[in-house]
Amino acid sequence: MTAIDDTHYVDEETVACDGGGGPLGHPRVWLNMEGQGEIDCPYCGRHFVLSEEGRKAAGDGH
């Protein structure tokens, strides 16, 4: 389960995650939502959600 504080709203379906950098970070990975509108980082569990603006840009908006 993802903590609410760990949810990041983004405007692109492809995002990069490095765990926040510093000593608690992890290698940078690129994650692609592939039309699902959300994805979790396999390293740190950060939850990325495509914003409403991003959905419109991707053609999912009304």
* DSSP per-residue codes, 2-61: --GGGEEEESSSEEEE-TTSGGG----EEEE-TTSSEEE-TTT--EEEE-HHHHHHHT--
Q: 1, 14, 4, 5: which is closest to 58 by C-alpha?
A: 14
Considering the domain boundaries, does residue 49 fall inside one? no
Q: 20, 4, 21, 29: which is closest to 49 by C-alpha?
A: 4
The three-class DSSP label of residue 1 is: coil
4: domain CATH number is 2.60.260
Q: Answer yes or no: is pLDDT of 4 > 90.
A: no
pLDDT digits (tens, 9 = 90+) for 8-61: 999 999 999 999 878 878 999 999 999 999 999 999 999 999 999 888 877 755
**Number of independent structural domains in the chain:** 1
Considering the domain boundaries, does residue 13 fall inside one? yes
Structural domain of residue 35, as residue ranges? 1-42
Considering the domain boundaries, does residue 20 fall inside one? yes
What global pTM score does this model have? 0.79
